[in-house]
A = this chain, B = another copy of it.
Amino acid sequence: MIQPQLKLKLVMGEQHTLLGPGKIALLNAIVAEHSLSKAAKSIGMSYRRAWLLIQELNDSLREPVLVTQTGGQAGGGSVLTPMAFELIALYDTLTQEAEAATEHTRNRLASMIKTD
């Protein structure tokens, strides 16, 4: 019996998605790639969409998640802010809390799934 896994989306009102698997995958890819364009490419997302998701986060939150540095020793590039790391950690916590709380009900759902 394979247990279905949870993917969480956080919405404000019915229309506006504040946070979901796409934005979190993008932030994690930026951690790995240190560049918005490389991060987008690494997860098969268009640069345009990646840029829009970052703009949405920057517009929604008290502090931006990504800032662009020019020059300096590293030659500039996109740098995640503490807000971004807080957001990634918070989404992990939300997922763990929700998965733990729904363990039994997800097992019930698993028992409804065709196995052949």
What residues make up the interface of A, taking CB atoms closer than 8 Å to B? 2, 4-12, 18-19, 59-62, 83, 86-87, 90, 93-94, 97-98, 100-102, 105-106, 108-109, 112-114
Contact = CB atoms under 8 A, between A and B. Distances in A.
Contacts of A19: 4, 109
B8 A7 contact: yes
Given A2-B12, A10-B4, A59-B114, A105 B86 contact: no
Contacts of A2: 12
A94 B102 contact: yes
B113 A90 contact: no
A92 to B, nearest CB: 10
Number of copies of this protein chain within its complex: 2
A6 B9 contact: yes
A62 B1 CA distance: 13
Nearest to A87: B112
B97 A102 contact: yes
A7 B4 contact: no
Contacts of A90: 105, 108-109, 112
Contacts of A106: 10, 94
